[in-house]
Amino acid sequence: MSIEELHKLFLESNGVSTDTRSITESQIFFALKGENFNGNLYASKAIEAGASYAVIDEEPKSSISDYILVTDVLKTLQDLANYHRHYCNAKVIGITGSNGKTTTKELLYSVLSTTFVTQATEGNLNNHIGVPLTLLKLTAQTEISIVEMGANRPGDIQELCEIAEPDYGYITNIGEAHLEGLGSLEGVYETKTALFRSIIDNGSICFVNQYDEYLKDSTIPEEKFTYLTNEVSLSERSSVYLEVDFNNTSIQTQLTGDYNIDNVRAATTIGEYLGVKISDVVVGLESYHPTNQRSQIIQFDSYRVILDAYNANPTSMKVSLKNVKHQASEEEYCIAIIGDMLELGDYAQSRHRDAIGYAITLGFDELILVGSLMSQAYESMSTEIQFPDLKIAAFADVEQVKPYYNKIDKKGSLIFFKASRGIKLERLLT
């Protein structure tokens, strides 16, 4: 069956599914395979659950007319997404980077939605499966699609660009993320900037963050890039949340951390470039409320929590720790609960030691370390720590730290949570 023929069936369907546990009537089931699963084994179950067709790449044990046999299910899903992307008239914006991808995506979605029918990546569906699923949700009415692109090995962004073929691209920054797969900062740079190379070859404009030291010296042809606006600046007014000045207007966002200013600049720049009125840019920025464990402020009766436990890498850990300590008042007892930063490979030991050392020098009142990597790093440097008044405790995982955390007298405290997603640090709050 050709992609054109499959696309016709897709248009008549209720969308696609890759999971029989959540399949709905008249969806097309794609039997994806991985190291620990084989969707082909569940094709008949998908049909029984209401799927109109099951796309498989292994010969079925029974002859069912609703099976569509292809050479490679994943490649077929990606090809279908690319075909549908061109079938629809939406402009595609690709966003990648080491930190801030999701926050920028959501801010931009909030800004563009004031003016256009806008679609964006849901959750963290930003890989070789998530990007096709995002594109397959495009409709004839969609005007702009914001596609988040993640990478943990060389070539990932190039592959995603071949699927999405973005018209516009923005790289948030270059930092020490996924070093285990990408090898070094140079590897991160080479992988992430594939987005810009794709735009240069086939797209319209690269939006360049000139405030990032690795991206500021752009080699992009002049007609193919625009820098972030320099009209967005930090407000001198004191606020728990990030407040900026833009075009003689004060904008009160619901984000914490001065480091989010580049995310605000990006949403502002791209929004204005695509035709959003300044007044609507302001509305979009102020109406966005983070709810996804990214810089969330949770106010309890006698203390407050800054929950930033969705992800972490050495770069984001340091800027977040600095920001939290800057936010704490003199009266607050400041606790940092930091967990393992995953996918660092050979850099893991040194970067966890660096993070612990940095938190100590910032002057936190108490430091709670969670995870095997943090615990091992602390053990290796415990004899070097020269801050006797600082309380430090280390635990192997969240379950072990729970009793300790529950006994803390939290009154008057500011408690900061930061770790990679796999640590599930937020469970301390349940």
Average pLDDT over residues 258-266: 93
Lowest model confidence (mean pLDDT) among 166-170, 179-183, 189-193, 386-390: 386-390
163, β-bridge pairs:
none
CATH homologous superfamily, domain 3-70:
MurE/MurF, N-terminal domain (3.40.1390.10)
Let me know if 169 is exposed, middle or buried by CB neighbors in 10 A (0-12, 13-18, 19+).
Answer: buried
For the cut 80, the answer to whether the pLDDT of residue 30 exceeds it is: yes
Query: 374 in helix, strand or coil?
Result: helix
What is the per-residue pLDDT across 304-322, written as a single tens digit (0 to 9) for each? Answer: 999 988 889 999 899 999 9
For the cut 80, the answer to whether the pLDDT of residue 292 exceeds it is: no
DSSP per position, 28-66: EEE--B-SS-BGGGGHHHHHHTT-SEEEESS--SS--TT
What is the per-residue pLDDT across 66-90, written as a single tens digit (0 to 9) for each? Answer: 999 999 999 999 999 999 999 998 9
Confidence at residue 178, expressed as pLDDT on a 0 to 100 scale = 87
The architecture that CATH gives domain 296-429 is Alpha-Beta Complex (3.90)
DSSP per position, 146-187: EEE---SSTTHHHHHHHHH--SEEEE----S-SHHHH-SHHH
Strand 296-299 relative to strand 304-308: parallel, antiparallel, unpaired? antiparallel
Identical fold between 88-287 and 296-429 = no
What is the per-residue pLDDT across 99-108, written as a single tens digit (0 to 9) for each? Answer: 899 999 999 9
Closest CA to 357 of 326, 336, 334, 343: 336
Would you say 333 and 413 are in contact if contact means Cβ atoms under 8 Å apart?
A: yes
* Domain spanning 88-287, CATH class: alpha beta
Residue matched to tokens 């080479």: 190
For the cut 90, the answer to whether the pLDDT of residue 417 exceeds it is: yes
Question: Which band of pLDDT confidence, cut at 50, 70 and 90, is reported for residue 329?
Answer: confident
Q: How far is CA 238 from CA 263, 327, 373, in A?
A: 20, 10, 36
DSSP per position, 190-246: HHHTHHHHHHHHH-SEEEE-TTSTTTSS--S-GGGEEEPPS-EEE-SS--SS-EEEE
Closest CA to 312 of 361, 254, 370, 253: 370
Is the pLDDT higher at 162 or at 218?
162
Confidence at residue 326, expressed as pLDDT on a 0 to 100 scale = 85
The span from the CA of 298 to the CA of 217, in Å, is: 39
Note the pTM of the prediction, 2 decimals.
Answer: 0.87
For the cut 90, the answer to whether the pLDDT of residue 35 exceeds it is: no
Residue type at 415 in one-letter notation: I
Confidence at residue 386, expressed as pLDDT on a 0 to 100 scale = 67
For the cut 90, the answer to whether the pLDDT of residue 219 exceeds it is: no
What is the per-residue pLDDT across 164-188, written as a single tens digit (0 to 9) for each? Answer: 999 999 999 998 888 888 889 999 9
What is the per-residue pLDDT across 112-160, written as a single tens digit (0 to 9) for each? Answer: 999 999 999 998 899 999 999 999 999 999 999 999 999 989 999 999 9
The span from the CA of 359 to the CA of 390, in Å, is: 11
What is the per-residue pLDDT across 36-54, written as a single tens digit (0 to 9) for each? Answer: 889 999 999 999 999 999 9
Residue matched to tokens 């502002």: 268
> Where in the chain are the domains?
3-70, 88-287, 296-429
The span from the CA of 292 to the CA of 114, in Å, is: 22
Confidence at residue 350, expressed as pLDDT on a 0 to 100 scale = 93
